[in-house]
Chains A and B, each alone.
Chain A
Amino acid sequence: MRLPACLPVLLLVAAVLLPVLAGLAGTLLPAFGHLPALGAVGWSLDPWRRLLDEPGLAAALRLTLVSGFGATALALLSVALFCAAFHDRPLFRRAQLWLAPLLATPHLAMGVGFLALAAPSGLLVRLLAPLLGLDRPPDLATVNDPWGLALLLGLALKEAPWLLLVSLAALNQIPAARLMATARLLGQPAPVAWLKVVFPLVYRQIRLPLHAVLAYSLGTVEMALLLGPGSPPPLAVLPVRWFLDRDLGMTFPAAAAATLLLVLTLAAILLWEGAAALAGRAGRRWAASGVAAGARLVRLGGWLLPLLLLLALGSLGAVLLWSVAGPWRFPDLWPRRLDFATWAAHREGLLALAEATLRVALPATALALALSVAALEAVARHGRAAWPWLLGLSYLPLLLPQTAFLLGLQVLLLQLGLDGGLPAVLWAHLVFVLPYVLLVLAAPWEALDPRLARSAAALGAGPLRMLCMVKLPVLLRPLLAAAAVGVAVSVGQYLATLFAGGGRYATLTTEALALASGGDRRVLGVFAALQAGIPLACYALALLLPRWLWRRRAGLRAA
């Protein structure tokens, strides 16, 4: 029997959508009072009444909206102004080099580093301490502030490099240099011309990643726990807190809160696009008006992103510094000595956790790579018009708040007795790893010159030999990049590990977050440093390995 040609595509989409759809159902049903396992059958609005009775709900909503929209807008604004101001400067190319470590660092490690910089006893306050005459940490909520500003900034630190990366990729698809030459000769100074004629074309291409940033920022649990206020917390934290409650009855309001977050996120994406359409109309009127003013303002605003990147690199440095810090009194800028005592003291635990982390990350990445290669190859060989659209469905988990389907997934796994095991955690990670791996691989796969495959076929290579001997080696660089991204995504998963693991599967990420409330910043630094170190090592490998392997093949090195 011949397998249908579209099987790899269906397999990939099913691997992602099955748990997502099942999880959504598992969240929506209890939200309306239906959960037979707990003896609740039929419909009821009680979960919603319980949710609305929650005293901090309005504040939680406000927090979520401010930090979610704020972080997304700040990241986009900084990237747009940076590109507008610096697209023709050498600095622009150098910025791309800084990006790799920031992209590899998981959200949580970045958040821990930001905490080490911005907390009342953090490095930034220590810098100012002599000026302000402080000899103890000020009694100020510089992080975990009730407005969610620290959360907003912490999110923007991680999202801005990602948006810059996708913008740079989009720029390669646009005849930006010739459009710029045209616009400038029509009288527009460079920064203004970039915003008027290049940015609208870039924006069209980065819409999906931008929506993913918005959805993540509204729905993040780990960053909210780390940098957000505790009472009330942002909306995304409520269902997790209630679910982890000993009282099983709290599953119902937890499901209602997760459903509210889902509706809020979908509405937010629509609202964002509505606002973007209005802004686009105003922008086109501005472009057509011939007004050339504003270049100086844009140039000034261009420094916003370097500032954010510097803060992000500083956060990364702060994590490393704390992990090797000896005794460190408050106003001192540098620890009294540096040693590996904290690393040594936690050696056993760190090794076990790193192993548990990799035991999920490596198979999840390998599976994601295999499924993606099979699906892309099927599209390349027998592609119908509908298939790329079908593949696009696998990006869905990036546009939903994680809680909305992970909560329901946990409820289902619990009923099936599957929670807590490695397979469940692995599949939950795959849901997030797969879309990113596919996102990295899809463009290079499509861009591969089809004549290469045709000439291989003309030389008598069968489909399998062509894949193994021609396509995979030529695409080694994007394959390794996708693998590094896959590991980084898996290592960073908090909620997927917590829920699919039933709270019993510990990784570096879950442990680091558990330690965050404890307060020993050295230990937290060690865990966060290792959490960042694993993906960083993978990124470095993905960057260096092709260079070494292809050191005698200039045509493959340059790509």
Chain B
Amino acid sequence: MSGLALRDVVLRLDGRALFAPLSLEVAPGGVVTLMGPSGCGKSSLLAWLCGTLDPALAGQGSACLDGMDLDGLPPERRRLGILFQDDLLFPHLSVGGNLGFGLRPGLPRAERRARIEAALVEAEMPGFAARDPASLSGGQRARVALMRVLLAEPRALLLDEPFSRLDAALRGRFRRFVLDHAAALRLPVLLVTHDPADAEAAGGPVLHLASLATP
């Protein structure tokens, strides 16, 4: 089956479950929003999906992407794209270098350059390839971060509160930008947030992750 599917996923800290067992499915082009108080393990759930869970936590349950079991795969082979609160652009690489980072190796040089430039046009930043990421505005950095993820050709998109750092005017526009691109590429999207406006804009089902850890 295609899309992203989680079955009976539980994260434990020192043996204690952070939330009740979670199951969900996201179809290609669909969005599922996960909401919950801070500290309930939303971000850790995404880290578990990515294979980068903090060693202090233990995860169980299964996750499938397009029918492929993610368990035991190293992060670099999971074909997942993720956006964090911070854009995490690599400060020592140019904008073009950042975009090229995740591009499939082995493409001819002209093809690589064309794809990077096309992504920049898409981000309304043509000709920005040689720029230092530090010289960009917050909105530009956020768009480059998304383009970098999409150029790596992921099969699902994970969003870890990527809109919360942006100011109000920018937030709505960037949210639309991300969701439109994900829909156009028919990517399943799992969105983690505590902003109800995000959930509303995403339009899909909303799950509330009840925290078991707090008394």
Contact = CB atoms under 8 A, between A and B. Distances in A.
Contact of B50 (A185, A280, A289, A293): A185
A280 B93 CA distance: 10
B76 A181 contact: no
Interface string B80-124: 111010101011111011101111110100001000000000000
A287 B112 CA distance: 13
Interface stretch (A103-111, A186-194, A205-213, A297-305): A186-194
Contacts of A178: 84, 86, 88
Contacts of A180: 52
The listed residue with most A CB atoms (<10 A of its CB), out of B51, B102, B154, is B102
Contacts of A73: none
Interface in B21-51: 47, 50-51
B78 A185 contact: yes
A184 B82 contact: no
B57 interface: no
Given A179-B88, A289-B105, A190 B97 contact: no
Contacts of A175: 86, 88
**Interface of B (DSSP majority class):** loop
B105 A288 contact: no
B152 interface: yes
A185 B84 contact: no
B148 interface: yes
B74 A284 contact: no
A462 interface: no
A519 interface: no
Contacts of A190: 74-76
A181 B47 contact: yes
A287 B97 contact: yes
B171 to A, nearest CB: 21
A182 interface: yes
B149 interface: yes
A145 to B, nearest CB: 39
Nearest to B85: A178
Name the interface size band of chain B.
20 to 34
A183 interface: yes
B97 A187 contact: no
B84 A193 contact: no
Contacts of B90: 179, 183, 196-197, 287
Contact of B101 (A177, A186, A280, A293): A186
**Interface of A (DSSP majority class):** helix
A288 B76 contact: no
A287 B96 CA distance: 11
Given A183-B101, A184-B76, A186-B101, A284 B84 contact: no
A200 B94 CA distance: 13
Contacts of B92: 197, 200-201, 280, 284
Interface in B135-168: 148-149, 152, 154
A18 interface: no
B102 A284 contact: no
Nearest to B75: A184
A291 B75 CA distance: 16
Contacts, number: 92
A290 interface: yes
Interface residues of A, number: 29
Contact of A182 (B78, B84, B97): B84
A521 to B, nearest CB: 46
Nearest to A285: B97
A185 B158 CA distance: 11
Contacts of B97: 284, 287-288
A277 interface: no
A541 interface: no
Contact of A184 (B74, B93, B94, B105): B74
A448 interface: no
Interface in A446-490: none
Contact of A290 (B51, B91, B101): B101
A292 interface: yes
Contact of A201 (B50, B52, B91, B104): B91
A290 B102 CA distance: 6
Nearest to A188: B76
A280 B94 CA distance: 13
Nearest to B101: A186
B105 A186 contact: no
Interface in A144-192: 175, 177-190
The listed residue with most B CB atoms (<10 A of its CB), out of A187, A190, A287, is A187
Contact of A185 (B75, B93, B94): B75
The listed residue with most B CB atoms (<10 A of its CB), out of A186, A190, A201, is A186
Nearest to B77: A187
Contact of B102 (A179, A181, A187, A201): A187
Contacts of A289: 100, 105, 112
Nearest to A184: B75
A182 B76 contact: no
Interface string B51-64: 11000000000000
Contacts of A197: 90, 92
Given A182-B88, A184-B74, A290-B104, 12 more contacts: A178-B84, A178-B88, A182-B82, A185-B75, A187-B102, A190-B75, A201-B92, A284-B93, A284-B97, A287-B90, A289-B100, A290-B100
The 9 closest A-B CB pairs, nearest first, are A186-B102, A288-B97, A184-B75, A288-B100, A181-B52, A200-B92, A290-B105, A291-B105, A290-B103
Interface of A: 175, 177-190, 193, 196-197, 200-201, 280, 284, 287-293
23 contacts: A179-B90, A180-B52, A181-B47, A181-B50, A184-B75, A184-B76, A185-B52, A185-B80, A185-B152, A187-B104, A188-B76, A189-B76, A193-B76, A196-B101, A197-B90, A200-B92, A288-B100, A289-B105, A290-B100, A290-B102, A290-B104, A292-B76, A293-B105
